[in-house]
Each structure stands twice: as structure tokens, then as C-alpha cells.
Amino acid sequence: MEPLLKINFIDYLIIIIYFIFVLGIGYFLRKAMITSNDFLLSGRKIPAWITGLAFISANLGALEVMGMSASGAKYGMLTAHFYWLGAIPAMVFVGVFMMPFYYGSKARSVPEYLKLRFDEKTRAFNALSFAVMTVLASGISMYAIAIVFQMMIGWSIHFSIFISAIVVLVYIFFGGLTSSIYNEVLQFFLIVFGFLPITILGLIQADGWGNLATKMETVVRGSTHIWSNLGNTMNNPMGIEWFGMVMGLGFVLSFGYWCTDFLVVQRAMAAKDITAAQNTPLIATFPKILFPFIVILPGIIGISLFPKEAFFSDAGKIDYNRILPVLLGKYLPNGMLGIGLTALLASFMSGMAGNVTAFNTVWTYDIYHAYINKKATDKQLLKMGKYTTVVGVLISIASAYIALGFANIMDYLQLLFSFFNAPLFATFLLGMFWKRSTGHGAFWGLLLGTLAAGIHHLLVSNGIISYYSEMASNFYQAIYSWTTAFVLTIIISLLTKPRPENELVGLVYSLTPKPVTSHIPFYKRPSSLAFAAIILTIIFNIIFW
Amino acid sequence: MLFDIRLPIGFIFTIFGSIVSLYGLLSNQNIYDSHSLGININVWWGLVMFIFGTSFLIFAFRKKAKNE
């Protein structure tokens, strides 16, 4: 099998320099890792712009980058709903309304907040399911890196898995969460500088967005407007109408992910104070609003400007996950190709590192400290955090092969999220904003909501329920699972004994004093940033209506 | 304790920018004809990265000087 890209010494030199910097960051941070708090929570002293960029980078793993360009080719601009309908409103919500409880409650993790607000069993359920999900996701990243690098430059699968695992292991083992966050910020800039030239050259070749859009419409009908074709499932390539889109993706999936997934929330928890924690997702919204142009447009450019055969797999069928790697080779000559490959490599590794650091923290604080060794000293916790890094990486390697057999990795990831995050968002919404909700309600709602997602998935895979696309099926699965959790939590809460109000101060909206912002200049206030982000998002929705 | 993140970012982009634009100056034009629409993307984008990297370094060293 001939590799797709011909790389030379200059590209290798760039990749090697990148590895040196990544490991160097871990090495120079090792002395700052004194307590478990330093290692697992960055000692809560990182400025907001850094945690903000890490917040988007942690989510910007290779799956996102390649999955988004794959979806861009399949569904066109409709993919931008993941950003302008999904991510941005959810990020604003978590920053303005939820962060005061996450950060203010002094919880060290999402499961720990559940313990403070509800009870032990809710925490245990969330900690265990999150730990499983996160190593699975990490395994997918590793599997993906290996396949892509084999296809692109002919590295053997074993070599890619070994090198990425060892590098991630080393820099987290020495530098902990801080090392992961610093590398995520570096990765953010690498992705921008590595992929932006593809969009620019593609737009030059197409002679502007107008011409590109005309060509795209002839390839995939209804794919260059984000709202005007949502009246009917037949008119757009995603096979979904606006209700499923708004409720499924816009509300349940996106809020579920951005508001409850510890992988991203952990970045905000590492911020230096409550305003910085609130501003973390809010600062992140601004680059996030522009990311469709870097990650979705290449998909549109690839499928409209090049013959389909360019993206065929060895089996002779179109493979959407090949679009980005093929475009890297088409547009970037040696030199810039090294930068593009480094960007892809960086996103693979920090996607994995994000999972490993989140797994670390949940295992150490919510499983080890909570159930296995309740009297652990901080020294033992730090040691456990470090060992868990090793174990987490090993489990990731083992789970790397589960990802096999799905055409579009993004759909697969959405599938996982709808099992775990969708019902969890119902739990958090009720927990933070309804003081009457109880531990029993939360636990059973969460459990049965997850079960509902599982049952729906079984019905779909056996053909009893069918949708126009896999994407539509995932959106509705999320809606059913969220609704089940929401309704059952309310019913069971009303039937069980509420907790006394004085125990819920700092954990529930109506019982917690609002953070005072009058001493902060207005442009640094969470409310002003939130307002600006919403206005900008509305503008983009209108432009691409 | 913690070092300024702007330092490694500044250094890596200064290095990447220099390498890529230098390679762009020395390489044959036909690799740009066959890839980047005839534009010498290595020189131009290398320059962009170089400017970005050095400005991060300037910020970082200014801040350091201010703190000392």
C-alpha cells in the first residue's frame, strides 16, 4: 500500500521539534507538581485565556477535526449547527449559569458535585460511567491516529500507537493537568496555522465562497444553507427537520456535552478564580464561532473541487474520513505539509491527553479516595494520580480497536454521548435549578434515562424504528433519553424526602448569592462576554440562513 | 513554579516559521505549481508564523521584565 503523502526530511524535522517541545513542557513543569491538587487540578491558578483555549482544544481532538471535515463533505454547512446552534449557546450557559456552582462548591470533579448536591450512589454511577466512556474515547483517538498515519505516511499501526501513547504518558506523568492544558493551548495554535492554509487555498481555487457553494449544491443538494432546508426531512442531506435539530443537537446533545462532560469542565475548574472559571467557556466561544471555517470548509472544498475518486478507500468506496488527509497532501508542499501533519498529530495527542487527565482525576478522587482508601494522604493521592496515568494509557491501548467498523467516527462519538451525557444534563439542570430534586430522583432518573438510550439504540439497530439518517437517529435518541431522565427525576423527587435547604447553599441557584462583578471592568464581566458571543452567533446564523 | 506558556509557543512558532520560509526560499517553484496554486505558501505562511511567534516572545519577555 502506497502512502498518500510524500514527506521528506523537512517535514520530519518539524515533527521532531514538536515532540521535543511537548516533552519539554512536561519536563519543565515537573517541579511544580507538589500536591495532588497541583497534579490533578493545576492548583487552580491558571489565567482565563489559557484555560479558555484549552477548553476548546480538549474537545478538538482528531475525531472532531476529521469528523467535522467528513461531516462537512457529507452534510455541508448543516454541520455548522454543531457550532452555531449547539456548542456556543451551551458554552454560554455553562459559563454564566453553571460555573458558579461547579467552581464555587469547591468540588474537584463533576461526579464530586453530584455527591455534594445529591448522594453517594449518583456520584458512583456517574464516576464509573464517565471513567468507562473516557477511556473508550481515548482508545478511539489512538486507533484513529494509527489508521490515519498508516494511510498518510506509511507508519505501522503499532509504531503510531506506541509513540503517541508514550509521549502522552510522559508529559502527563511529569506535568499533570497543567502539562495537558499547556499542550492544548499549543495545539490550538498549531491547528489554526496548520489547517487555515487549506481553507484559504481552497477558496482561492474555487474563486470565492459563492462559486464554491454553487458547486457544492450540485454535489450535495440543500447543503449550503443551515436553516432554509430544515422544513422537511427530504430537503436536506442530514434527513432531519428543525425540531429534531434544535431539541436533539441544539439542546440535549450540546448542553449535555459542554455542561456536564468533565473533560471540558475540568479546564474551567483549573482557573484561578470564579470570574476566570466563568470566563473560560465564554472566551472559548469566540474562536469556536470561527472554527467551522477551519474544520468544516475543507470538507466542502474537498468534495466540490476534487473528483470523488480522490477520496476512495482501497475497497473503492468513498471514505469521508480521508478528506482532510488527502487535502493536506493536495494543497501543502513539503514544509507546510510538516506543519499540517504536526497539527493533526497534536490534535490526536491532546484529544487523548484530555481523556487521560479527566480519567486520572475521577479515578483518584471519586473512586480511589471515595471507596477504596478513604483515609488516603495527599501524598498517596498524588502517587495514585500518577499511576492512574499509566493504567489509563494502557486501557486506552486495549480499547483502541473498539472504534473499528463505523464509517463516520463523529456519528459513533455522538452515539456514545447520547448514552451518557444526555440524561446527565437532565440531572444537572434539575439539581442546579430546582431545590426540591432529591438524590433518589437523580439516581433513578439518570439510570433509567441511560437505559432508555440503550433500548432506543437496540430498536433502531434491529430495524423496529427507522430514521432518514444515522445522525437523525442519534438526535432523537438523545431527546428520548433526556426526557426520560427529566420526567422520572421530577416524579421520584416529589415522592421522596427533600434535603434541608441549609445543606444546599452554594449548590442550587435559588439558594446561592450571585457572584459580584461590579469591581471588574465591563469587558471582563461574564455577562458582557456572553452577550457579545450570542450576538456574533446570531449574525453567522443569519448570514448562512 | 509555572513558566509562561507564551514562551514555548513563541519559540516553537519562531522556529517553525524560520525553517519553513527558509525551505520555501531554497525549494523549487514547481512544488508550488503542483500543490498550492503556484503560491509559495512556505515563504508566506512561514513568515506569518514567524511574526506570530516573535510577537508572543516579545509579550512574554516584556511581562517577565515587568515582574522583575
Burial of A154 (0-12, 13-18, 19+ CB in 10 A): middle
Is residue A140 within a helix (H) or strand (E), and if so which, with residue range?
helix A120-153
Q: Does B8 touch chain A (CB under 8 A)?
A: yes
| pLDDT of amino acid A405 | 53
Angle among Cα A356, A407, A307 to the nearest 5 degrees reads: 120
Separation of alpha carbons A324 and A70, rounded Å = 8
Residues 6+ positions from A277 with CB-CB distance below 8 Å: A48, A51, A99, A102, A103, A268, A269, A271
Minimal C-alpha gap between B24 and chain A (Å): 8
Q: Are A160 and A145 in contact (CB under 8 A)?
A: yes
**Does B36 contact A205 at a Cβ distance shorter than 8 Å?**
no
Interface check A178 vs B, CB under 8 A = yes
Give pLDDT tens digits for A471-521. Answer: 788 888 999 999 999 999 999 999 999 999 988 988 998 888 887 888 888
Among residues A473, A452, A400, A470, the alpha carbon closest in space to that of A135 is found at A400
A260 lies in some domain = yes
User: Which of A11, A177, A193, A350 is the mutation pick for testing B, counting most B CBs within 10 A?
Assistant: A193
Query: Does the beta-carbon distance from A28 to B12 stay under 8 Å?
Result: no
Asked if A29 and B16 come within 8 Å (Cβ–Cβ), the reply is no
Q: What CATH number is given to the structural domain containing A490?
A: 1.20.1730.10
- Say whether B45 sits in a helix, a strand or coil: helix
Give me Rg for the CA atoms of chain B: 16
Query: Nearest Cα to A262, choosing from A53, A59, A478, A474?
Result: A59
Q: How many Cα atoms sit within 13 Å of A139 on the Cβ side? A: 21
Sequence-distant (≥ 6) Cβ neighbours of residue A428 within 8 angstroms: A98, A259, A260
Chain B residues with beta carbon closer than 8 angstroms to that of A13: 19
Chain A residues inside the 8 Å CB shell of B54: none
Q: Which of B2, B9, B20 sits opposite A335 (nearest CB)?
A: B20
Of B2, B20, B52, the CB nearest to A32: B2
Q: How far is CA A84 from CA A265, A372, A525, in A?
A: 20, 43, 22
Q: How many helices (H) and strands (E) does chain B have?
A: 3, 0
Total number of domains in chain A: 1
pLDDT digits 0-9 by tens, A366-402: 999 999 999 999 999 999 999 999 999 998 888 776 6
When scoring B6, B13, B20 by the number of chain A Cβ atoms within 10 A, the one with the most, hence best to mutate, is B20
The model's pTM is: 0.92
Q: Does some domain include residue A123?
A: yes
Decide if A335 and B32 are in contact by the 8 Å CB cutoff: no
> Please, is A514 exposed, middle or buried when counting C-beta atoms within 10 Å of its C-beta (0-12, 13-18, 19+)?
exposed
**Cα–Cα distance measured from residue A151 to residue A140, given in angstroms and rounded to the nearest whole number:** 16
pLDDT tens digits along B10-41: 999 999 999 999 999 998 888 898 889 989 99
Q: Quote the cell numbers at residue A309.
A: 475518486
- Asked if B65 is an interface residue toward chain A (Cβ–Cβ < 8 A), one would say no
- How is chain B split into domains, by residue range? 6-67
Report if residue A47 sits inside a domain: no
B23 contacts in chain A (CB < 8 Å)? 10, 334-335
Contact of B46 with chain A, judged by CB distance below 8 Å, is answered with yes
**Do B19 and A10 count as a contact with CB atoms less than 8 A apart?**
yes
Closest to A197 (Cβ–Cβ): which among B1, B3, B45? B45
Q: Testing the interface with B: which of A177, A191, A336 to mutate, by most B Cβ within 10 A? A: A336
How many CB atoms are located within 10 Å of the residue A503 CB?
12
Which residues of chain A fall below pLDDT 50? 407, 410
Of A31, A197, A333, nearest to B32 by CB-CB distance is A333
* Grid cell 464530586 in the structure block, residue: A112
pLDDT computed for residue A413 by the predictor: 60
Residue in A508, A488, A486 with CA at minimum distance from that of residue A496? A488
pLDDT value of residue A407: 44
> Which residue, chain included where needed, has cell 446533545?
A253
Q: Does A131 reside within a domain?
A: yes
Please, are residues A282 and A530 in contact by the beta-carbon 8 Å criterion?
Answer: yes
Which residue range forms the structural domain that includes residue A464? 9-16+58-543
Q: Is residue A433 part of a domain?
A: yes
Mutation target for A interface from B4, B6, B9: give the one with most A CBs within 10 A: B9
* Nearest C-alpha in B relative to A11: B20
Find chain B residues with C-beta within 8 A of A204's C-beta.
Answer: 37, 39
Question: Which residues from A are below 8 Å from B49, CB to CB?
Answer: 193, 339
- Which positions in chain B touch A8 (Cβ < 8 Å)? none
